[in-house]
């Protein structure tokens, strides 16, 4: 491993500090490309305009007409956290905006597979729905959309995944990555796309006179940006005139609904989907965090915080990524994502608490399954190493006992350990004779996973039955007797694309941390900010003296260190190899709480031997 300190543009750091930004934060932001304090403005007014996303205007007209005509709407979701939050945002938002009949359907990972398939379209039609709305899927569902249209359904596709060579012939497509879309935030999550569709819909309804004019602000009015308690679905439905039709002409005109109540869900789905936190995504996440910390959050999100042992009033992006997101994802991996969606939709606090406990139990089961799979997958991966114990350019493993709901997590673990693009395959449970294998892949910087699959498909027609995804994560299906062919073809592409520098693990850090910042209050200062994919959480690096070390829980290394002459504890989770007396460590600041006392400790991320 090579530990490298990021470059910090001194002028940008100075400008930020002069604008009142905390000196340490000024340094961290400058290293991440922030040029001025204006770039840190997370106000809703700074969000990219909805009409710059191709298809939002047409989607708004389609949905406004459907609401006016009282048509039945059905949302088809994906079975991960982004899909679940996008579904909850769609259902809640459409009801807030006057839709009377909104249902949803989420495919089963094992039985149905991914996306809007022809059988899913048929199930939607069987419910009596007239308008089908996809969230976090659909851009690759050419056959599914065609079947839905043949059944007489109006189809609105909202998605953020990369499109294939052929687009589905939906009535409207909303996807920032479709050809001709000028929306700047190409990394927006599926839940963010749906939120933008709702913003456009509200504007269309406002233009049609669906809402009463706003009251003049009083001298004691709250600021526009102040968080508000979310309306429950029942309140939204019971509000006078909230679902007016032509026959309700005498009903009072409703006030314009506040869609910012949906931002906690948008923030959760955005972070959990590990999309790049560009400025627009950071604003969405920051706004959601503000409302959660102020207590303005759905009961289901509050219940998930409680089940995870986290405090909503001190919510961070780490809570989204490592506590709430995994619990929702577990439902889609091992059970039924309906559990996760219902937890996010229900306004019954007791019901939400029960669902959150169920999701927590499923997540514990997921961890147990993952642990056994990880050990076997690591052994299979190591069997691919050459005589010098060097891994190949890419790793693909399969075992008959692997669970397809956990292959993505295990692929991520292998990728992290060996720094190689990795695919893990399991037999498809939906295929009774196990003729097909479903694989989930994770990549390293510099290797575009979906593009690699596309090249494999072109070079070896018939090896890949289906594939899709992003640069860093993708999925595919192969015939069981074609696994070895895929393994060779995928490794060949990696061998051609990856050089020695790319295959060397590099850990970018923010360099040494001044001794004055080795304080417990700095942990809270850092955690309150928005960090994540593409806007890395602060990681520092320095030479330390290892005073003592011991294993805890048989798989973690507890350390007594001396940093800049100051004694401090450290912990390296998932690491068991002993460290030398002096070593360069990469670490994050963390708080260790015991019997009501909080102490500063270092959470070790990597080590580089001294030369």
Among the listed residues 299, 357, 304, 361, the one whose alpha carbon sits nearest the alpha carbon of residue 330: 361
Is residue 241's pLDDT more than 50? Answer: no
Task: Look up the pTM and report it.
Answer: 0.89
- Phi then psi for residue 210, to 5 deg, are -75, -15
CATH of domain 509-609: 2.40.50.460
- Phi then psi for residue 259, to 5 deg, are -80, -10
Mean pLDDT, residues 598-602 taken together: 94
> What does the pLDDT look like over 353-377, one tens digit per residue?
999 999 999 999 999 999 999 999 9
The CATH classification of domain 50-209+232-240+252-358, taken from the options 3.90.1640.30, 3.30.420.40, 3.40.50.300, 1.10.1380.10: 3.90.1640.30
CB–CB of 87/341 below 8 Å? yes
The CATH classification of domain 384-503, taken from the options 2.40.160.40, 3.10.310.30, 3.30.70.120, 3.50.50.60: 3.10.310.30
Between residues 1 and 441, the one the model is more confident about: 441
pLDDT tier, 246 (very low <50, low <70, confident <90, very high otherwise): very low
CB–CB of 431/406 below 8 Å? no
What are the CA-CA distances from residue 524 to residues 310, 530, 545, 598, 600 (Å)? Answer: 14, 12, 26, 11, 11
Is residue 227's pLDDT more than 60? Answer: no
For residue 180, how many other CB atoms are within 10 A of its CB? 6
Q: What pLDDT shows up at residue 233? A: 33
- The percent of residues above 90 in pLDDT, for the chain, comes to 85
Alpha-carbon distance of 311 to 319, in angstroms, equals 9
Is residue 324's pLDDT more than 50? Answer: yes
CB–CB of 282/534 below 8 Å? no
Helices 325-334 and 338-345: crossing angle in degrees, nearest 10, is: 140
For residue 423, how many other CB atoms are within 10 A of its CB? 30
The 8-class DSSP code of residue 452 comes to H
CB–CB of 474/449 below 8 Å? yes
Q: Lowest mean pLDDT: which of 149-153, 369-373, 477-481, 590-594?
A: 590-594
Among the listed residues 308, 312, 303, 377, the one whose alpha carbon sits nearest the alpha carbon of residue 347: 303
Q: Lowest mean pLDDT: which of 35-39, 47-51, 467-471, 598-602?
A: 467-471
Q: What pLDDT shows up at residue 235? A: 35
Q: What pLDDT shows up at residue 251? A: 66
pLDDT tier, 221 (very low <50, low <70, confident <90, very high otherwise): very low
Q: What pLDDT shows up at residue 247? A: 45
Q: Where are the domains positioned within the chain?
A: 50-209+232-240+252-358, 384-503, 509-609
Q: What pLDDT shows up at residue 257? A: 96
Is residue 434's pLDDT more than 90? Answer: no
Q: What pLDDT shows up at residue 239? A: 36
Q: What pLDDT shows up at residue 337? A: 96
Q: Lowest mean pLDDT: which of 241-250, 488-497, 542-551, 568-577?
A: 241-250
- The percent of residues above 70 in pLDDT, for the chain, comes to 93
């Amino acid at each position: 491993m090579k530990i490298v300190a990021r470059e910090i543009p001194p002028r940008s750091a100075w400008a930020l500090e002069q604008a009142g930004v905390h000196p340490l934060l000024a340094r961290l932001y400058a290293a991440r490309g922030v040029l001025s304090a204006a770039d840190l403005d997370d106000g809703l007014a700074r969000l990219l305009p909805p009409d710059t996303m191709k298809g939002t205007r047409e989607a708004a007209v389609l949905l406004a007409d459907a609401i006016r005509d009282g048509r039945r709407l059905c949302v088809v979701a994906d079975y991960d956290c982004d899909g679940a939050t996008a579904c909850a945002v769609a259902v809640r938002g459409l009801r807030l905006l006057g839709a009377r009949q909104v249902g949803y359907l989420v495919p089963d990972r094992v039985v149905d597979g991914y996306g809007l398939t022809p059988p899913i379209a048929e199930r939607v039609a069987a419910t009596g729905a007239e308008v089908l709305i996809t969230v976090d899927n659909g851009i690759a569902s050419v056959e599914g959309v065609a079947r839905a249209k043949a059944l007489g359904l109006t189809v609105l596709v909202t998605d953020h995944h990369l499109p294939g060579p052929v687009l589905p012939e939906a009535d409207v497509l909303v996807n920032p990555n479709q050809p001709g879309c000028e929306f700047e935030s190409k990394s927006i999550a599926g839940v963010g796309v749906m939120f933008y569709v709702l913003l456009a819909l509200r504007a269309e309804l406002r233009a049609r006179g669906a809402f009463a004019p706003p009251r003049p602000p009083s001298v004691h009015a709250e600021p526009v940006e102040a968080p508000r308690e979310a309306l429950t679905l029942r309140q939204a439905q019971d509000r006078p005139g909230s679902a007016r039709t032509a026959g309700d002409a005498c009903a009072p005109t409703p006030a314009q609904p506040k869609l910012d109540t949906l931002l906690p869900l948008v923030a959760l789905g955005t972070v959990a989907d590990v999309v790049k936190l560009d400025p627009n995504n950071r604003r969405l996440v920051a706004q959601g965090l503000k409302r959660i910390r102020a207590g303005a959050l759905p009961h289901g999100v509050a219940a998930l915080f409680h089940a995870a042992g986290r405090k909503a009033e001190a919510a961070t992006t780490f809570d989204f990524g490592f506590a709430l997101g995994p619990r929702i994802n577990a439902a889609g991996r091992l059970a039924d994502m309906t559990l996760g969606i219902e937890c996010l939709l229900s306004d019954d606090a007791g019901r939400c608490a029960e669902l959150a406990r169920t999701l927590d139990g499923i997540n514990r089961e997921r961890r147990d399954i993952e642990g056994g799979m990880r050990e076997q997958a690591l052994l299979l991966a190591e069997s691919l190493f050459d005589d010098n114990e060097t891994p190949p350019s890419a790793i693909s493993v399969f075992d008959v006992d692997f669970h397809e709901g956990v292959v993505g997590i295990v692929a991520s673990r292998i990728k992290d350990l060996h720094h190689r693009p990795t695919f893990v395959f399991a037999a498809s449970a939906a295929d009774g004779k196990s003729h097909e294998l479903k694989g989930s892949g994770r990549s390293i910087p510099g290797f575009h996973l979906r593009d690699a699959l596309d090249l494999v498909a072109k070079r070896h027609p018939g090896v890949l039955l289906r594939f899709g995804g992003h640069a860093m994560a993708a999925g595919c299906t192969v015939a069981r007797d074609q696994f070895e062919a895929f393994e060779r073809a995928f490794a060949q592409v990696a061998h051609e694309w990856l050089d020695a520098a790319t295959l060397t693990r590099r850990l970018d850090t923010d360099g040494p941390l001044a001794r004055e910042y080795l304080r417990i209050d700095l942990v809270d200062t850092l955690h309150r900010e928005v960090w994540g994919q593409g806007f890395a959480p602060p990681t520092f690096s320095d030479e330390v003296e290892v005073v003592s070390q011991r294993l805890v829980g048989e798989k973690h290394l507890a350390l007594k260190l001396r940093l800049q002459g100051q004694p401090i504890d450290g912990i390296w989770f998932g690491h068991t190899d002993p460290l030398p007396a002096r070593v360069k460590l990469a670490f994050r600041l963390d708080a260790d709480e015991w019997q009501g006392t909080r102490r500063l400790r270092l959470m070790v991320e990597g080590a580089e031997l001294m030369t």
